[in-house]
């Protein structure tokens, strides 16, 4: 890998534009992600979050603007960028026909690492999948699949990880598991770009939050800064009804 001291941001996006025919998905997106931080891109369905991630992951070319990862331009130096990143897409990109362990070994081999088997066993342990390791992924639950998916993304310790809606479609318990995993990543110095539809998730995980709306970043700041933009909180006393999620977690007796 090219050794180049990177003092700038882990991810820098400037003036990014992308259209599909008449439809302008991105109309000039700018943001920076500081090294070792978790940055959440918050937006509703169709806001363009996945398009940003696909451009950064060298899967899609932008119409205008630049994007770089650790100083490497995604358009002109894509193979350098691929050395640095790992993508966890919107749908768990795992091989259903292989076992969990085989999936991990496969990625370790493709990253040309020594002793893929040991790497796989270590990750199975860290993601509580050891018992399921030999089973075909088609028998896994949604949460297990997502955990395996994220474990596959960590192989080779890429310094920058993209997580595209990592908890969409997961039940509350599985979501908490994924959150714990993501928090752990940033603790090890990995830079994470996370997309999500829920403010709750951004609030739980992110150091900075940007809201992507109609192809533009309309707000970008820390949670505290974002909260200042809201109308001042009024103090009201209301009986707090438990949410379905509270009930669910209480009934199933989650660890959290």
Count residues contacting another protein (CB under 8 A)? 30
Smallest gap, in angstroms, from Cβ of residue 164 to another protein? 10
Binding of another protein by 213 (CB under 8 A): no
* CB 168 to another protein: min, Å: 13
Q: How would you classify the pairing of strands 23-33 and 11-20? A: antiparallel
Site for another protein in 99-138 (CB under 8 A): 102, 106-107, 109-112
Burial of 241 (0-12, 13-18, 19+ CB in 10 A): exposed
Site string for another protein, 155-184 (x = CB under 8 A): ------------------------------
Does 90 participate in binding another protein (rule CB under 8 A)?
yes
Q: Which residue has the tokens 């990592």?
A: 166
Q: Which listed residue (98, 113, 199, 223) binds another protein by CB under 8 A?
A: 98
3-state secondary structure of 31: strand
CB of 86 to another protein, least distance (A): 8
Distance in angstroms between the alpha carbons of the first and the last residue of the chain: 40
When asked if residue 86 is in the footprint of another protein (CB under 8 A), the reply is: yes
Instruction: List the structure tokens of 90.
Output: 């919107």
Residue 170 CB, shortest distance to another protein, in Å, is 16
The tokens of 188 are what?
């090890």
Give the Cα separation of 244 and 242 in Å (integer).
7
Neighbouring residues of 189: CB distance < 8 A, sequence distance ≥ 6: 35, 36, 159
* Chain contacts with another protein (rule: CB under 8 A): 54, 57-61, 79, 82-83, 85-87, 89-98, 102, 106-107, 109-112, 152
């Amino acid at each position: 890998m090219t050794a180049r001291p990177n003092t700038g941001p882990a991810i820098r996006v400037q003036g990014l534009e992308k259209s599909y025919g008449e439809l302008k998905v991105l109309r000039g997106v700018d943001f920076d992600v500081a090294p070792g931080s978790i940055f959440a891109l918050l937006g509703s369905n169709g806001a363009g979050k996945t398009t940003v991630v696909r451009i950064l992951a060298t899967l899609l070319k932008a119409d205008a603007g630049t994007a770089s990862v650790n100083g490497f331009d995604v358009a002109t130096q894509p193979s350098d960028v691929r050395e640095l990143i790992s993508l966890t897409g919107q749908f768990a990109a795992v091989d259903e026909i292989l076992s969990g362990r085989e999936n991990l070994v496969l990625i370790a081999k493709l990253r040309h690492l020594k002793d893929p088997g040991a790497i796989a066993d270590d990750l199975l342990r860290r993601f509580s999948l050891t018992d399921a390791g030999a089973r075909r992924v088609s028998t896994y639950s949604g949460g297990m699949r997502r955990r395996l998916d994220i474990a596959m993304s960590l192989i080779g310790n890429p310094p920058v990880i993209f997580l595209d809606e990592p908890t969409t479609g997961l039940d509350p318990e599985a979501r908490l598991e994924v959150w714990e995993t993501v928090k752990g990543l940033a603790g090890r110095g990995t830079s994470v770009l996370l997309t999500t539809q829920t403010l709750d998730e951004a609030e739980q995980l992110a150091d900075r939050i940007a809201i992507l709306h109609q192809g533009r970043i309309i707000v970008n700041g820390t949670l505290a800064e974002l909260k200042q933009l809201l109308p001042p909180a009024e103090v009201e006393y209301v009986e707090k009804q438990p949410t379905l999620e509270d009930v669910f977690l209480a009934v199933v007796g989650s660890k959290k």
